[in-house]
Amino acid sequence: MLLLLGFFFTQNGSMSQLYRNAYYSGSATKLSQLPGDDGYEVAFAGRSNAGKSSAINTITGIGSLARTSKTPGRTQMINFFHLDEQRALVDLPGYGYAKVPEAMKHKWQATLAQYLEKRQSLRGLMLMMDIRHPLKEFDLQMLTWANQASLPVHILLTKSDKLKHGAAKAAMLDVQKKLRQAELEASVQLFSSLNKSGRDEAVSKLDQWFEVDALLAQE
Ligand code: GDP
C-alpha cells in the first residue's frame, strides 16, 4: 500500500491522482439542491472567459470536465466534481452573460453570497482572473464576500503565457498591491493552462484545503 501511495505522489508531494479521479457528480440551481454539507469543497469562480474551465481541466488532467460545465443549461448552475466521497471541486457560474436579465443576476448573486457564507464544507475559493484584466467588479465582489465569511481565497492569474515573464511578474505584484490597498486578503499566483505553468503551486494549495495529509494518514 505504501508503495502505491508513493506512486501517487508527485515531486512536490501532492497526491495528483486524487484530482485525476474527478467526476461530474451533479448540479444545483439553488442551495436546497446541494449535496450534504459534511465534506471538503473548494469553489472555482471567475468571470466568463477567465479560463476557469481550462484551469479545472489542467488541474485534473480531464478535458471532459470542462466540457461538462459548458453543457448548455449548466453554465448557470453550481456544478460538482467529486474527487472522492468526501472531497469536491465546485464550479460556480461565471458572469458576463449579457442576455441574463438583471433580476436573475441579483438572484444568482444572493445564491452565491449565501453559498460562500453558509457552506460548512467550503474550505477555500479559487478565483480565476485573466492576467490582462484582473480585479473586475465580479472579482472584487467575490473577494469581499469570501473575506467577510473568513474563507481563504487563492487567485490564479490565468493565461500568463500571454505576457512575457517580467510583465507577468509585474502584473502579479500590481494585483498584490491593489489587494493590499483595498484591504482584501488573498494569495496570488501565475497560471497558464496552455503551458501548464503554475499547476503544481495550485495543486499544493488544493492539497492544503482538502487536507490531503489527513487522507494519507487514514490509509
Ligand atoms: P471560462 O469561460 O472561464 O471557463 O474560460 P475557458 O477555460 O473556456 O477559456 C476561455 C478562452 O481562453 C478559451 O478560448 C481558452 O482556450 C482560452 N484560454 C484559457 N486558458 C488559457 C491559457 O492559459 N492560455 C491561453 N493562451 N489561452 C487560454
Handedness of CA 30, 33, 35, 36 (dihedral sign): positive
Please tell me the predicted confidence (pLDDT) of residue 219: 66
List the grid coordinates of 122.
Answer: 467550503
What is d(CA 211, CA 207) in angstroms, rounded to the nearest whole number? Answer: 6
Amino acid residing at 116 = L
Mutational test site, ligand 1, from 132, 161, 193, max ligand atoms within 8 Å of CB: 193
Mutational test site, ligand 1, from 54, 71, 158, 189, max ligand atoms within 8 Å of CB: 54
Residue by residue, pLDDT tens for the chain (219 residues) are: 554 554 454 444 456 789 999 999 999 988 999 999 999 999 999 998 999 999 999 999 998 887 777 777 666 789 999 999 999 999 998 765 556 778 877 888 888 889 999 999 999 999 999 999 999 998 999 999 999 999 999 999 999 999 999 999 999 999 999 999 999 999 999 999 999 999 999 999 999 999 998 777 776
Name the residue with the closest Cα to ligand 1, atom 18.
Answer: 51
CB-ligand 1 contact for 107 (6 Å cutoff): no
Name the residue with the closest Cα to ligand 1, atom 22.
Answer: 159
Asked if 12 and 96 count as a contact pair (C-beta separation under 8 A), the reply is no
The structure's pTM equals 0.91
CB-ligand 1 contact for 197 (6 Å cutoff): no
Alpha helices for the chain (secondary structure H): 2-8, 16-20, 52-60, 63-70, 102-118, 137-148, 165-181, 199-209, 212-218
Q: What number does the ligand 1 atom closest to the CA of 54 have?
A: 7
Q: What number does the ligand 1 atom closest to the CA of 57 have?
A: 7
Name the residue with the closest Cα to ligand 1, atom 9.
Answer: 51
Please tell me the predicted confidence (pLDDT) of residue 43: 97
Asked if 209 and 152 count as a contact pair (C-beta separation under 8 A), the reply is yes
Per-residue pLDDT tens digits for 154-190: 999 999 999 999 999 999 999 999 999 999 999 999 9
Asked if 75 and 172 count as a contact pair (C-beta separation under 8 A), the reply is no
CB-ligand 1 contact for 130 (6 Å cutoff): no
Question: How is 148-190 classified by DSSP, letter by letter?
Answer: HTT--EEEEEE-GGGS-HHHHHHHHHHHHHHHHHTT---EEEE
